[in-house]
A = this chain, B = another copy of it.
């Protein structure tokens, strides 16, 4: 049930059978059909999600009423609205299943407790957040580096095949332009 997460944790720290049991009694596993919302604007983000299979997207609705995708999470990535999760305050974001998706969730009320019972997890999450922050640094650099068309081509090179998994309008907003523009650059070359 939780094996994919245990395997992921074991890439970074050891995990005893006892510790696995504690986790097993704390974690929750869910399957969400495509388009299901795990979080909606105004709700409090109650969990941090680990994607076992499928794809989630984090987005918000901008001042013009347009959905802006700020993050995707695929296999072995964690996702949540950290501002809402950390402070348990209403979120500005939506988290939605871009495909039918299996997740493992840690609820907020269990989160800090879990670190007390399994201190090793501090290291695991320190490394996870270190990596997430590194990914954010790269993403911001990438957004500032290139024009819209180059961002598309570069992204395609980094994640070949991912483009087929999601609707173009989600990718367009993630890359910071309109679906119409994406449509245009796809036909020219």
Q: Which residues of A approach B to under 8 Å, CB–CB?
A: 60, 62-63, 68, 70-71, 81-83, 86, 92-93, 115, 119, 122-123, 125-126, 129-134, 136-141, 143-146, 173, 176
Contacts and interface: CB of A to CB of B under 8 A. Distances in A.
19 contacts: A62-B144, A62-B145, A63-B145, A63-B146, A68-B141, A68-B144, A70-B144, A71-B140, A81-B137, A86-B130, A86-B131, A86-B134, A115-B126, A119-B119, A122-B122, A122-B123, A129-B132, A129-B133, A140-B140
What DSSP secondary structure best describes chain A's contact surface? Answer: helix
A22 to B, nearest CB: 18
Given A60-B145, A82-B133, A136-B136, 14 more contacts: A63-B146, A70-B137, A83-B138, A86-B134, A115-B123, A122-B123, A125-B126, A125-B130, A126-B126, A126-B129, A129-B130, A139-B140, A140-B140, A144-B173
A126 B122 contact: yes
Contacts of A132: 129, 133
A134 B60 contact: no
Given A115-B123, A119-B119, A122-B123, A136 B129 contact: no
Nearest to A13: B122
Contacts of A81: 137
A128 to B, nearest CB: 8
A137 B62 contact: no
